[in-house]
Amino acid sequence: MTSALSAVDVIRVKRDGGELTDEQIDWVVDAYNAGAVAEEQMAALAMAILLNGMTARETGRWTRAIVRSGERLDLTEVDRPTVDKHSTGGVGDKITLPLAPLVATCGAAVPQLSGRGLGHTGGTLDKLESIPGWRARLTTAEIVAQLNSVGAVVCAPTEGLAPADRKLYALRDVTGTVESIPLIAGSIMGKKVAEGADGLVLDVKVGSGAFMKNEDRARELAATLVSIGESHGMAVSALLTDMSTPLGATVGNALEVAEAVDVLRGGGPADVVELTVALATEMLRLAGIDPTGATDPAAVLSSGAAYETWCRMIRAQGGDPEAPLPTAAHTRTVTAAEDGVLTAVDAYQVGMAAWRLGAGRARKEDAVRFGAGVRLLARPGDRVRRGDPLFELSTDTPEAFPGAVAELASAVRTGETAVEAHPLVLDVVRGG
């Protein structure tokens, strides 16, 4: 049957600042997923959406069309309340690694379908694949079984989940349309609604190392995501969190896994612990679990009890949690150029340095170097003298050192006195 709709007509409506009908949105997403709308046509529509925006109704319908493009994960056989977390991406953002087993230890089930890194931000699957034997691909049956036996699973999305988004995500990345809030919201919530969890906490990053540099734009995105989730019957809230400085003391896949394990054993950097506990508390609230007493996430984390859940989670996916993690063949220390107090360590520049060392990828098909990355030896507020160590760089390709060192030279600022620190959690956005 030939449709009365055409891609050109849909593009023209949005190009001219009009509002797409439900029928137009459903048709163009379905037709693009089926190959009936050409890549260049969808690229033109994506650019028109970037420039002219979408109403809340359009964004919600776009998300619904993405969900309908594939299967939905059936979690009805999971014997605990299900709640997930999504981060918009940052530098040193290893929070999923301690968070999923922590929330599971407190009584909820966490179906965390994650992705890989691209550019200066890391990917959760890349970090976990540095663990010998660990596998990212699971069937739906395996996901449900692991949620019942362990309480947490971190894995790649199943092949049938929101396939239209996979095509759109790749297209947006190469057409300069990544920044569109309606398209970001549709991408995130299309996958999360299809994932089937009862609740979702969003970690919307703000700052130089985040996708959203501006707090007002981040707040708009958070409100949009929460509204879409609620319209699909999910319990949703969003934390706006600072990403001007890298999270923790490490940036790089195996380095971040080791740091996450320290946190799970009751130690680790204070900022990683703080954000893990804040997100866990919100997730438990959405799951209907009282985050006090025996299920107080701060107490559970400091006790080391969540580490046992981590080990079970890793073993369930073929990994060896006790195996040595990969290390890079070469290291170099970067030192302070002058005396003073560190007033800033720019997250974006540190992320770019780690990327240059091999911790990230320029294209989706590129391999990452698991041992590559940056260790922060000083933090904002620390007083340093010329020659004091600031960073330790790790790589298997020593020719990458000059580029990484150049990135870090512009990452650090010093002054006579410390500047007031940003709060890590800037705000919480909840629905009506």
HEC sequence for the chain: CCCCCCHHHHHHHHHCCCCCCHHHHHHHHHHHHCCCCCHHHHHHHHHHHHHHCCCHHHHHHHHHHHHHCCECCCCCCCCCCEEEEEECCCCCCCCHHHHHHHHHHCCCEEEEECCCCECCECCHHHHHCCCCCCCCCCCHHHHHHHHHHCCEEEECCCCCECHHHHHHHHHHHHHCCCCCHHHHHHHHHHHHHHHCCCEEEEEEEECCCCCECCHHHHHHHHHHHHHHHHHCCCEEEEEEEECCCCCCCEECHHHHHHHHHHHHCCCCCHHHHHHHHHHHHHHHHHCCCCCCHHHCHHHHHHHCHHHHHHHHHHHHCCCCCCCCCCCCCEEEEEECCCCEEEEEECHHHHHHHHHHHCCCCCCCCCCCCCCCEEEECCCCCCEECCCCEEEEEEECCHHHHHHHHHHHHCCEEEECCCCCCCCCEEEEEECC
Q: How much is the pLDDT for 122?
A: 75
Helix or strand holding residue 375 (H, E): strand 373-376
Annotated catalytic residue: which of 87, 114, 187, 227?
A: 187
* pLDDT for the residue numbered 1: 41
127 carries an active-site annotation? no
| Phi and psi at residue 375, to the nearest 5° | -110, 125
Q: In what order do the strands lie in the sheet with 389-395?
A: 250-251, 373-376, 389-395, 330-335
Catalytic residue among 165, 203, 296, 346: 165
Q: 330 catalytic, yes or no?
A: no
Q: Is 314 exposed, middle or buried (0-12, 13-18, 19+ CB in 10 A)?
A: buried
213 catalytically annotated: no
Both structure tokens of 217: 């734009």
Residue 3: predicted pLDDT = 66
Quote the pLDDT of residue 382.
94
Domain boundaries, given as residue ranges, for the chain: 7-68, 83-158+174-323, 330-415
336 close to 388: Cβ distance less than 8 angstroms: yes
Radius of gyration of the chain (CA): 22
- Cα(394)–Cα(358) distance, rounded to whole angstroms? 9
Burial of residue 411 (CB within 10 Å: 0-12, 13-18, 19+) is buried
Residue 14: active-site member: no
The class (CATH top level) of 7-68 is mainly alpha
Write down the CATH number for the domain with range 83-158+174-323.
3.40.1030.10
pLDDT in tens, the chain (432 residues): 456 899 999 999 999 999 999 999 999 999 999 999 999 999 999 999 999 999 999 999 999 999 999 999 999 999 999 999 999 989 999 999 999 999 999 999 999 998 877 667 778 999 999 999 999 999 999 999 999 999 999 999 888 899 999 899 888 878 888 889 999 999 999 999 999 999 999 999 999 988 888 999 999 999 999 999 999 999 999 999 999 999 999 999 999 999 999 999 999 999 999 999 999 999 999 999 999 999 999 999 999 999 999 999 999 999 999 999 999 999 999 999 999 999 999 999 999 999 999 998 776 667 889 999 999 999 999 999 999 999 999 999 999 999 999 999 989 999 988 788 789 999 999 986
Instruction: Write out the two tokens for 144.
Output: 């449900």
Domain 330-415 has CATH 3.90.1170.30: yes
Catalytic-role residue among 116, 191, 361, 375: 191
Task: Spot the catalytic one: 94, 166, 172, 361.
Answer: 172
- Classify the phi-psi angles of 318: left when phi > 0, otherwise alpha if psi is within -120 to 50, otherwise beta: left
